[in-house]
Amino acid sequence: MRAVSANLLALLLFCTCACVFYVWNSLEVSRLERYTRGLQSASWGTLHPGPPSDLPVKTFRALLTVPAAQRLHFGDGRQYVHNLTGVRDQTGSLGSRDYHINVDNKESAQKGVPESNFVSLVEEGIFWSEWLEDRLPVSFSEKHARAWRERARGQRIVKLEPGCGRISNQLATFLDGTKACVRYGINADQVQGETLTYYLAGLLGITNIPPLILSQLNVDSEQWDYVRRKIFSLQWSERAVVSLTEWVANLTGVVTPEPLRQKSKGLLPLPGELRNQTTEELVELMQWTDLIILDYLSANFDRLVSNLFSLQWDSRVMERETNNLLRTPRGNLVFIDNEAGLVHGFRVLDMWEKYHSTILGSVCVFRKRTAQRVIELHRRRDTRTRLLELYRDSEPLSPELGFFSDEHAGVLQTRIDRVYKHITHCKGMYHQL
Ligand SMILES: Nc1ncnc2c1ncn2[C@@H]1O[C@H](COP(=O)(O)OP(=O)(O)OP(=O)(O)O)[C@@H](O)[C@H]1O
Ligand SMILES: [Mg+2]
């Protein structure tokens, strides 16, 4: 009898515990759901402006017609700003390009994200994790770029031929058999845009642009005399300053990844969404986030922004390869043809700014190092000085080509400040996740 009572008592106790657990669990799930819904609606409103309901969904206009309150939070200095100061500078001072200390880890990049709880994709709410950073193959390192630039400066060009796009760009072969793309700008602005964007990337620690040098056309010089007849036939002016960038073999086209297309929510640091991607895809997305910051800062419309623009008449443009973006077989993105950046891009900002903002606003995860550089440039307000120093110290022909105007330097600093505010905003949104 006593045993039966004890069993009944135990059963009663078990049922009570089960009920309490069930009620608590339901409350917790609905709290989480509310939180996630709130987060998603916030991210849609703020980061990737959705179309108002009276417009046909998924049209280009719908994408861009955004109520002012839903636009990027460029103006709100929220209370999370202090958190950003906590970003460690792991990379040394601004101006050096030698930041890639990563090992070539392609093998693991192809295996997909392990299901391990220990693998984190995002750190501190908005930064790609160190685990992912370690899987990014080395791009054009400072050491490589310096060696290439030194070699290219003194080398004789033995052949000029098509192979680098339009006729004003020529594929040059050096005496040692290596190659470069020579870009002869229709005006100096294009060469300046190309060159200063390269150095701006250097300032930010972005190493996806092939090494670049300037050269002044002179058919009597050792570098150009062998191809003098070709230069005449191309009608290139003597003394013009052209840029030469390292030619890279086996590059292929790149289609905009799903999270960055207009129908997606954007690239947000939500573990659920990122875990759907393979490691290889994540490593590429990480490089896209650098590209988006660089193109925003330089107002380069000749890549993703022009795709967004073309959606008006070509609804499948995002499914095609992106302009001026290529990929190496190891998975490095190569940002080519940056001549629309900084100079021309700033001149036509009125037309393109809304597209630039939309794209920047769609991304809320960044490389820590790049964010760190933006934060420093925002704080010190010395982007012009640092860019000029780096350009002057690295390029002997900088006096010949010149630098951009003070007005454009002001535009660049303002854009740095906006990216900073956007990073701050993202930190505020996601630092608790
Ligand atoms: N550094 C490089 N290494 C290898 N190939 C290159 C390089 N730069 C350009 N190319 C090749 O030339 C093509 C066109 O390059 P680029 O965009 O610089 O010229 P473009 O005249 O603007 O051409 P487009 O109008 O197609 O953009 C690229 O798609 C690529 O195939
Ligand atoms: Mg091009």
278 pLDDT above the threshold of 60: yes
The per-residue pLDDT for 274 is 86
What digits encode the pLDDT tens for the residues 253-266? 999 999 998 778 88
Query: Rounded to an integer, what distance in angstroms lies between the CA atom of residue 218 and that of residue 232?
Result: 11
Query: Rounded to an integer, what distance in angstroms lies between the CA atom of residue 359 and that of residue 362?
Result: 5
Top mean pLDDT of 14-23, 256-265, 375-384 is at 375-384
How many angstroms separate the alpha carbon of residue 339 from the centre of ligand 2?
9
Mean pLDDT value across the chain: 79
Which ligand 1 atom is the nearest neighbour of the CA of 168? 21
Please answer whether residues 375 and 420 qualify as being in contact, where contact means their C-beta atoms are separated by less than 8 angstroms: yes
Q: From the CB of residue 108, how many other CB atoms can be counted at a distance below 10 Å?
A: 14
For the chain, give percent helix, strand, coil, nearest 5: 50, 10, 40
Q: How confident is the model at residue 311 (pLDDT cuts 50, 70, 90)?
A: confident
81 pLDDT above the threshold of 80: no
Name the closest ligand to CA 166: 1
Which ligand 1 atom is the nearest neighbour of the CA of 163? 12
Top mean pLDDT of 99-113, 166-180, 419-433 is at 166-180
The per-residue pLDDT for 262 is 76
Q: How confident is the model at residue 120 (pLDDT cuts 50, 70, 90)?
A: confident
With a pLDDT cut of 70, the percent of the chain lying above it is 72
- In which element (H, E) is residue 390 found? helix 383-394
Q: How confident is the model at residue 6 (pLDDT cuts 50, 70, 90)?
A: low
Q: Pocket of ligand 1, candidates 164, 251, 335: which has the most ligand atoms within 8 Å of its Cβ, to mutate?
A: 164
How many angstroms separate the alpha carbon of residue 392 from the centre of ligand 1?
26
Domain ranges of the chain: 2-46, 68-138+251-430, 142-246
Name the closest ligand to CA 245: 1
The per-residue pLDDT for 10 is 53
How many angstroms separate the alpha carbon of residue 190 from the centre of ligand 1?
15
Top mean pLDDT of 42-51, 142-151, 423-432 is at 142-151
Which ligand 1 atom is the nearest neighbour of the CA of 337? 18
368 pLDDT above the threshold of 60: yes
Q: How confident is the model at residue 333 (pLDDT cuts 50, 70, 90)?
A: very high
Of 54-68, 119-133, 197-211, 357-371, give the lowest mean pLDDT range.
54-68
The CA-atom distances, in angstroms, between 308 and each of 340, 346, 361 are: 16, 18, 13
How many angstroms separate the alpha carbon of residue 302 from the centre of ligand 2?
8
The per-residue pLDDT for 85 is 35
How many angstroms separate the alpha carbon of residue 331 from the centre of ligand 2?
20
Query: Rounded to an integer, what distance in angstroms lies between the CA atom of residue 73 and that of residue 361?
Result: 9
40 pLDDT above the threshold of 80: no
Radius of gyration of the chain (CA): 26
The per-residue pLDDT for 164 is 96
The per-residue pLDDT for 5 is 56
Of 4-18, 77-91, 279-293, 402-416, give the lowest mean pLDDT range.
77-91
**Amino acid identity, position 271:** P
165 CB-contact burial (10 Å; exposed 0-12 / middle 13-18 / buried 19+): middle
Which ligand 1 atom is the nearest neighbour of the CA of 247? 3
Mean pLDDT across 298-310 = 92
Please answer whether residues 32 and 344 qualify as being in contact, where contact means their C-beta atoms are separated by less than 8 angstroms: no
Pocket of ligand 1 (CB under 6 A): 164-166, 169, 181, 210, 245-248, 251, 323-324, 336-337
The per-residue pLDDT for 12 is 53
Q: How confident is the model at residue 23 (pLDDT cuts 50, 70, 90)?
A: very low
The per-residue pLDDT for 8 is 52
Which ligand 1 atom is the nearest neighbour of the CA of 326? 29
Count of CA atoms in the C-beta half-sphere (13 A) of 43: 21
Please answer whether residues 324 and 169 qualify as being in contact, where contact means their C-beta atoms are separated by less than 8 angstroms: no
Query: Rounded to an integer, what distance in angstroms lies between the CA atom of residue 185 and that of residue 102?
Result: 35
**Sign, CA torsion 399/405/406/411:** negative
How many angstroms separate the alpha carbon of residue 432 from the centre of ligand 2?
41
Which ligand 1 atom is the nearest neighbour of the CA of 179? 3
367 CB-contact burial (10 Å; exposed 0-12 / middle 13-18 / buried 19+): buried
List the residue whose alpha carbon is closest to atom 30 of ligand 1.
Answer: 164
The per-residue pLDDT for 380 is 97
Tallying the residues shown for the chain, one arrives at 433
